[in-house]
Copies of this chain bind each other. A is one copy, B any other.
Amino acid sequence: MPTAWTSRYAARTAAAKSSRIRELLKVTQLPDVISFAGGLPANDVFPLERFNEACGKVLASHYVAALQYGETEGYAPLREMIARHISRYGIRAHIENVLITSGSQQALDLIGKLFINPGDRILVEAPTYMGALQAFSIYGANYVSVPCDHYGLRTDLLEAPLRTGPKFMYVLPNFQNPGGTTLAVERRHTLVALADKYGIPIIEDDPYGQLRYEGEHLPSLVVVDRENLRRDQDFTFGNVIYLSTFSKTLAPGLRLGWIVAPPDVISKLALLKQGIDLHTSTFAQVVAYEVARDNFLDQHVRRLRSVYRERRDAMLAALEEYFPPEITWTHPQGGLFLWVTLPEFMDANLLFQEALKQNVAFVPGDSFFAPNGDNIPRNRYMRLNFSNAPADRIREGIRRLSVAVKTQLEHLRALEPVTAT
């Protein structure tokens, strides 16, 4: 029913597109469905006891900080903790480099608000995180997509797109969502050198970096940028702004993320954030600080790694066991997702319908591509999440999915014209 308001929507809202995933979640949350669709951390490993202690402590001793209005930049002890924590990975951050956001999604909205003029081109990976596309599109972003392979962004294809003068590059180097791929270390160096050569800065989104199940930690782009270009020691942040979150390590329900950037950018972002939500929930921030402090977060992350590694391995083993040889997938070294490539003639959206009949769900890959005119195929992919279900459910889910795949394959083969007798 249209109302007095319907005709008054601003022009920008035409660019608002619902996340496929959030729509799918409604279908896939039926109890019989095994869902690989969400990006949900496991429900069974939330550190409840620690949360309980933290709440008690906060309400006894830090209730003013937790319940009263707070600073837009965030709760100072939490900002300091984050700065200390990332410094261990070579990111030389201090409190004035850290802005707390209402989840990493708000970091993307803030970045869009601060940097994107209508019509600006943003260079993104193909595929990329659809939440970033949602956040940037509302500010009028256009996109230049550069393909990824099993080693992440194809930096050998970057120069031509960079010459078109994008406003910035948006990159997820670790265990990418949706690809599950990790940007190879040589490519990190190439990427940073090209950013410098063409003067195009980088937004490095790293929600999963802590969740590595094999191999060595690779230096973040912030660190490569500083070290490679031999910048002045104090000049910590050159061409890279770094984003991360507690959503995958503590709890997404807290809605706590952060932006690490030069102080002038942080000030400007904080100014915008005042008008957006004054500040992120201090209640969530102070509780998260009390939960994470004294190295509890590290200890908890070790537990998550062991739980999620097992689930990843269960999914990889089941894919190996059940899936036909025409189908390939990435081998993620960490994170929550893997990315399946179907044969050329298959369509992931049709497969999704077939999968639902088998009570199993995933996200068809086309949602993860920017709406640009590139000829990158986008209907052949599915994203599978392995963090939210225990190993036996994963195995059963992949078995069901393989039934859907085989049904679909047989159906397609029956349709093929007979080319030889």
Which residues of A approach B to under 8 Å, CB–CB?
1-6, 8-13, 16-19, 22, 38-41, 43, 46, 48, 51-52, 55-56, 59, 63-70, 72, 102-103, 105-106, 108-109, 113-117, 120, 131, 134-135, 137-139, 167-168, 199, 201, 237-239, 241, 247, 251-255, 261-265, 268, 271-272, 274-284, 286-287
Contacts and interface: CB of A to CB of B under 8 A. Distances in A.
A10 B114 contact: yes
A52 B5 CA distance: 41
Contact of A287 (B12, B56, B251, B283): B283
B265 A280 contact: no
Copies in the complex: 2
Task: Give the residue among A10, A103, A106, A279 with the most B Cβ atoms within 10 A.
Answer: A10
B102 A67 contact: no
Given A265-B3, A283-B251, A109 B276 contact: yes
**4 residue pairs, one from A and one from B, having the closest CB atoms:** A55-B55, A134-B275, A67-B251, A253-B282
A393 B272 CA distance: 34
Contacts of A56: 52, 55
20 contacts: A3-B237, A3-B265, A5-B241, A8-B115, A8-B168, A9-B114, A9-B268, A13-B268, A39-B69, A55-B55, A67-B251, A67-B254, A102-B102, A103-B277, A105-B277, A113-B138, A255-B278, A255-B280, A255-B283, A281-B283
Q: Which of A40, A43, A280 counts the most chain B CB atoms within 10 A? A: A280
B277 A254 contact: no
Contacts of A117: 10-12
A67 B278 CA distance: 23
A114 B13 contact: yes
